[in-house]
Amino acid sequence: MEKQLGYISLGCAKNLVDTEIMLGKLNDAGYIITEDLSNADLIIINTCTFIEKAKEESINTILEAAQYKQRGHCKGLIVAGCLSQQYQEELFTEIPEIDALIGTGAWDRIMQAVEAIEAGNRICIMDNITNMYDERMPRMQTTPTYSAYVKIAEGCNNGCTFCIIPKVRGPFRSRTIDSIVGEVKKLASMGVKEIVLIAQDTTHYGIDLSDDGKPLLTRLLKELVKIDGIEWYRLLYLYPQFFTDELLDFIVSEPKICNYIDIPLQHINDDILRQMNRKDSRHDIETLLKKIRNQPKHITLRTSIIVGFPGETDEQFDELCDFVKRIKFDNMGVFTYSQEEGTIAGARHDQVPESIKEDRYHTLMAIQAAISEENNKALEGVVCQAMIETIEPSDDGTFLAKGRLETQAPDVDGNMYIENCENLTPGTICNVKIEQGFAYDVVCNLMD
């Protein structure tokens, strides 16, 4: 009889890659994926603990999944990921329905957890968090067949005062270029056309591998673009400190690399940046952004911002708003500061009240929405590449295609729509003309 496996992967794309490795091992062991958790013999929840809302979502998801042990087929509930690593004792004690806990470095021991559950035992596996996956490990892709995430490094050395990630993911460590190239070749052979390269700090890649302590991201990209079949490479989480001129020049000159730069800045006020233990000053950031904006072709800029960091004053927030208005980021994620246990910032006594954080969040989001709409309207008439994701019939008998422009990353940015189209298939990369720009989405026509 087939064994049914249900899973939920929470948090970031980096976590999703870990989920896919665990699913690959379980698939090799004969488990079949089911989307209906009530039919699952085994359920895996891969959790996130980055901010308080993520913790709450993880806990609620675990509790909901636990109900299937009473009213479904579930014989085993496995909880993995960052929440497991940080709160292993509390989870095992307070949620007895959990049969196995797997830490951030123990995903490769998923079958040991399954065997323990089958023997009627509860188990907690928290290996050394410096563990790394490589191209030889089985992986079940859960993203669309034409797009995949590739994690080029794990962990972080930055020590931002608001962040718990180094404690649950360990120090920064890079995969070898050969390992990454091997994985991308394998994905290309499976029909993947877009590779999204990720790490906690992607521009930091290779510093721990190079003889001179310099980053190796550009060297890695020069090898990856040689691989047949991959048409788009997208880079996420490019921190400013090691964003070199060489890297910028290669992004601009190489056709396979999307003209899309994601730079998590978090703030712009120098005092706040120092208190966050960020490695860049306002001057450093503005110098880099000026170089990007002065390139011969337009490069889409995305950033992430935290509002309500401890001690943030009205004047410092106003400075942040003025900066955002001037730079006109194409896309921006805004987060209210989350007071995290075990962090330096979390222990401070000058926490900003939740009501003020929420007001600042909505203020900045409104500013960004107006900027995004202005930027998208400015693109009307521009021809660019797009990837088709879905084709659905409309009420009037025509077809509506949804997808992403080269300037839109999966999951975090807006969408592109093409009306009155057919004969397209998901994964097709085609030329489109932008006809209408809105705050987050664009409407296009297919070019001949």
* DSSP line for 221-238: HHHHTTSTT--EEEE---
Tell me the pairing of strands 416-418 and 399-405. antiparallel
How many angstroms separate the CA atoms of 9 and 18, rounded? 9
- The pLDDT assigned to 377 comes to 95
Distance of CA 6 to the CA centre of its chain: 22
Return the residue matching tokens 């960052």.
Answer: 82
Exposure on the CB side of residue 356, measured as CA atoms within 13 A: 14
Has 321 been labeled as part of a binding site? no
- The pLDDT assigned to 70 comes to 86
The backbone torsions φ and ψ at residue 154, rounded to the nearest 5 degrees and listed phi first, read -135, 155
Q: Output the pTM of the full model.
A: 0.94
Please state the rounded mean pLDDT for residues 316-335: 96
Our CA angle for 261, 134, 199, nearest 5°, is: 25
Please state the rounded mean pLDDT for residues 52-71: 91
Tell me the pairing of strands 257-266 and 100-102. unpaired
Tell me the pairing of strands 194-198 and 147-151. parallel
- The pLDDT assigned to 1 comes to 62
Closest CA to 123 of 160, 157, 91: 91
The answer to which of 14-18, 123-127, 375-379, 392-396 has the lowest mean pLDDT is 392-396
What mean pLDDT is reported for the chain? Answer: 93
Has 124 been labeled as part of a binding site? no
How many angstroms separate the CA atoms of 134 and 219, rounded? 19
If one compares 397 and 365, the residue with the highest pLDDT of the two is 365
Would you place residue 217 in the very low, low, confident or very high pLDDT band (cuts 50, 70, 90)?
A: very high
Please state the rounded mean pLDDT for residues 51-60: 89
User: The tokens of 314 are what?
Assistant: 């009205």
Highest mean pLDDT out of 57-66, 204-213, 267-276: 267-276
Our CA angle for 91, 94, 100, nearest 5°, is: 45
- The pLDDT assigned to 396 comes to 77
Domains of the chain (ranges plus CATH)? 3-125 (3.40.50.12160), 147-378 (3.80.30.20), 380-446 (2.40.50.140)
Has 163 been labeled as part of a binding site? yes
The backbone torsions φ and ψ at residue 438, rounded to the nearest 5 degrees and listed phi first, read -120, -175
- The pLDDT assigned to 366 comes to 97
Percentage of residues of the chain with pLDDT beyond 70 = 100
User: The tokens of 53 are what?
Assistant: 């809302």
- The pLDDT assigned to 177 comes to 97
Has 74 been labeled as part of a binding site? no
Please state the rounded mean pLDDT for residues 190-205: 96
How many angstroms separate the CA atoms of 374 and 363, rounded? 17
Longest Cα–Cα distance of the chain, Å, equals: 65
Contacts of residue 150, defined as CB under 8 A and 6 or more positions apart, other chains included, come to 17, 180, 183, 184, 187, 195, 196, 197, 198
